[in-house]
């Protein structure tokens, strides 16, 4: 008769733990145990502009860099940065508008890196007869207040020799623009992708895009609080390294990258593919980023959209170069670095 030997559970668990440790040591730090992963909370704008973070999460790149990233999705970069400032998350994906607002409000934020930029666009109703930006005179133009859309609109009008008094400005959320344009209550929309592509698909030949390329690029960036960075420098460096690896993967596998991002943000692949090239993904700190931050800040000062007593920020005290320099110094090309 065979006897069944029952070993204490504690003994089995201890041996299992030992085996796991041995395997972990043999395979190296990239196969760290879950308990060894550094944990952080990411507030993410769930849109193609967050493509690098989306890929890093969905493809397990964060884990390969020893990170356990919990993602909370939002519909704007402002919500993301507000969540970080309020303590509900550690890292934000956000555009320049929330960055300048927070900086002028003396919030202790640290701008770690840019990860994407893309041009805003103007789409007009074909019946409005707008061929060039100068033809916008007298038209009803939708924009989104407090975002890059408002700065883009102001810059666009100025470049066309127009002032806000020469047009009728209508403040709408991006998702409200297509219904308004289709109903004929506005003549043009100033916004970002994928809203322009969605409007083109829905309205076909009833709309046309005005050539405004190079007027204003909206950036998407990584921002943390300075106390968090001081307390977690290694984690932030690993986060940046993961984004760089995601960038490399996306450029090597563009077809799969489009599918991955489209699935994550709830878009059809054939809707994202035609505008994929509009999203310029690159982890960097360069003079273009600073120029855009200064342009947005100048708009705030001129328009009065700032806290009392605000002045042009010194972005050398907001942009923190050390984490990216440690990971890949060639990506820091600031003239004042």
Domain limits at 155? 121-210
pTM assigned to the model: 0.83
Work out whether the CA dihedral 14, 20, 25, 29 comes out positive or negative: negative
Per-residue confidence (pLDDT) for residue 76, from 0 to 100: 86
Whether 172 is in a domain gets the answer yes
Predicted pLDDT of residue 145: 86
Domains contained in the chain, number: 2
226 and 112 in a single domain? The answer is yes
Residues 113 and 60 in one domain: yes
Which residues does 203 contact at the CB level (< 8 Å), separation at least 6? 178, 181, 182
Same domain, yes or no, for 96 and 149?
no
The residue out of 163, 184, 210 marking a domain boundary is 210
- Which of 210, 228, 244 represents a domain boundary (last residue)? 210
How much is the pLDDT for 156? Answer: 96
Pairing of strands 140-143, 188-191: parallel
- 228 and 131 in one domain? no
- Answer yes or no: do 232 and 301 share one domain: yes
φ/ψ of residue 75, rounded to 5:
-100, 0
CATH number of the structural domain spanning residue 150: 3.40.190.10
List Cβ neighbours of 61 (8 Å cut-off, separation of 6 or more): 55, 242, 245, 246, 249
- Residue 35 has what pLDDT? 56
Residues 226 and 327 reside in one and the same domain: yes
Residues 97 and 238 occupy one common structural domain? yes
- Same domain membership, residue 99 and residue 223: yes
Confirm if 230 and 316 have CB atoms less than 8 A apart: no
- Is residue 20 assigned to a domain? no
Question: Based on the domain organization, do 113 and 256 belong to the same domain?
Answer: yes
Distance between CA atoms of 216 and 99, rounded to whole angstroms? Answer: 16
- Are 197 and 275 in contact by the 8 Å Cβ rule? The answer is yes
- Residue 104: inside a domain: yes
Q: In whole angstroms, give the CA distance from residue 67 to residue 238.
A: 7
261 with 48: CB under 8 angstroms?
yes
In a domain, residue 27? The reply is no
pLDDT of residue 27: 45
- My answer on whether 183 and 135 are in the same domain is yes
Tens of pLDDT along the chain (337 residues) come to 443 333 443 333 444 444 444 444 444 444 445 558 999 999 999 999 999 999 999 999 999 999 999 999 998 898 999 999 999 999 999 999 999 999 999 999 999 999 999 999 999 999 999 999 999 999 999 999 878 899 899 999 999 999 999 999 999 999 999 999 999 999 999 998 889 999 999 999 999 999 999 898 899 999 999 999 999 999 999 999 999 999 999 999 999 999 999 999 999 999 999 999 999 999 999 999 999 999 999 989 988 889 999 999 999 999 999 999 999 999 999 998 5
Structure tokens at 16: 């299992």
Domain stop point among 210, 239, 260:
210
**332: alpha, beta or left? (left if phi > 0; alpha if psi -120 to 50):** beta
> Is 246 found in the same domain as 198?
no
What gap in Å lies between CA 221 and CA 90, rounded to an integer? 14
């Amino acid at each position: 008769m065979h006897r069944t030997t029952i070993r204490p559970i504690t003994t089995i668990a201890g041996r299992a733990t030992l085996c796991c440790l041995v395997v972990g040591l043999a395979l190296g730090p990239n196969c760290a145990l879950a308990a060894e992963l550094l944990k952080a909370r990411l507030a993410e704008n769930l849109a193609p502009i967050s493509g690098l973070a989306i890929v890093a999460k969905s493809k397990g790149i964060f884990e390969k860099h020893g990170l356990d990233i919990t993602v909370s999705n939002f519909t704007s970069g402002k919500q993301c940065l507000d969540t970080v400032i309020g303590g509900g998350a550690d890292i934000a994906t956000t555009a320049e508008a929330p960055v300048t607002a927070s900086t002028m409000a003396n919030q202790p934020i640290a701008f770690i890196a840019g990860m994407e930029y893309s041009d805003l666009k103007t789409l007009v109703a074909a019946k409005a007869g707008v061929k060039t930006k100068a033809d916008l005179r007298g038209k009803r133009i939708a924009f989104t207040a407090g975002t890059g859309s408002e700065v883009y609109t102001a810059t666009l009008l100025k470049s066309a020799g127009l002032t806000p008094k020469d047009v009728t400005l209508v403040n709408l959320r991006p998702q409200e623009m297509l219904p308004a344009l289709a109903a004929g209550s506005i003549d043009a929309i100033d916004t970002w992708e994928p809203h322009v592509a969605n409007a083109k698909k829905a309205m076909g030949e009833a709309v046309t895009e005005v050539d405004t390329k190079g007027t204003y690029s909206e950036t998407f960036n990584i921002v943390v609080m300075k106390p968090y960075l001081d307390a977690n420098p290694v984690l932030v460096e690993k986060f940046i390294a993961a984004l760089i690896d995601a960038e490399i993967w996306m450029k090597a596998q563009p077809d799969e990258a489009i599918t991955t991002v489209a699935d994550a943000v709830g878009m059809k692949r054939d809707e994202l593919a035609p505008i994929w090239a509009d999203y310029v993904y690159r982890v960097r700190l360069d003079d273009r980023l600073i120029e855009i931050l200064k342009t947005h800040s100048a708009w705030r000062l001129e328009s009065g959209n700032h806290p009392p007593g605000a002045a042009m920020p010194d972005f050398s005290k907001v942009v923190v170069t050390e984490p990216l320099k440690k990971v890949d110094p060639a990506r820091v090309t600031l003239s004042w670095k």
